[in-house]
């Protein structure tokens, strides 16, 4: 199974205090599963872990994800960025972040329907958040 890993899911996976930690840990332990995310998601995750006490964990997780074959990190190159920005500009009726719009476009392009997230924006965009 290939799923998209959103920032929400990444925080839930690494933080035992998050309400979806157990669910995220269980999902991420799936044998044979693969995860797609973007460097924009990793940037958002690192920004949320800015506290000096959290930085070592953030760095370790990002390095792990960048070197582990079950993770496919999509580079936010010009094409990916422009696709996300185009969606962002077409949907002023939604409070979707640019990172979310980039994620939605990557998911659409790759045919991914499930996301490790609890973010309701994924449901609004036609995807299936896992919690």
Residues 6 or more apart whose CB falls under 8 angstroms from that of 131 comprise: 12, 20, 23, 24, 117, 118
pLDDT of residue 75: 97
- How far CA 68 is from CA of 19, 71, 104, in Å, comes to 26, 6, 23
- Taking the C-alpha atoms of residue 52 and residue 13, their distance in angstroms, rounded to an integer, is 19
pLDDT in tens, the chain (131 residues): 999 999 999 999 999 999 999 999 999 998 899 999 999 999 999 999 999 999 999 999 999 999 999 999 999 999 999 999 999 999 999 999 999 999 999 999 999 999 999 999 999 999 999 99
Which domain range does residue 73 map to? Answer: 2-129
pLDDT of residue 128: 98
The CATH number of whichever domain residue 36 belongs to comes to 3.40.50.1010
pLDDT of residue 30: 83
pLDDT of residue 104: 98
Task: Tell me how many domains the chain contains.
Answer: 1
pLDDT of residue 26: 94
């Amino acid at each position: 199974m290939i799923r998209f890993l959103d920032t929400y899911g990444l925080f839930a996976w690494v933080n035992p205090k998050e309400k979806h930690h157990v669910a995220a840990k269980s999902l991420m332990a799936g044998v044979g599963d693969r995860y797609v995310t973007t460097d924009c998601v990793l940037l958002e995750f690192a920004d949320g872990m800015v506290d000096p006490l959290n930085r070592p964990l953030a760095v370790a997780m990002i390095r792990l994800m960048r070197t582990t074959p079950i993770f496919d990190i999509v580079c936010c190159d010009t094409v990916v960025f422009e696709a996300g920005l185009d969606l962002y500009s077409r949907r002023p009726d939604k409070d979707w972040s640019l990172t979310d719009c980039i994620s939605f476009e990557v998911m659409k392009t790759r045919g991914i329907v499930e996301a490790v997230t609890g973010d309701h924006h994924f449901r609004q965009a036609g995807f299936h958040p896992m919690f």
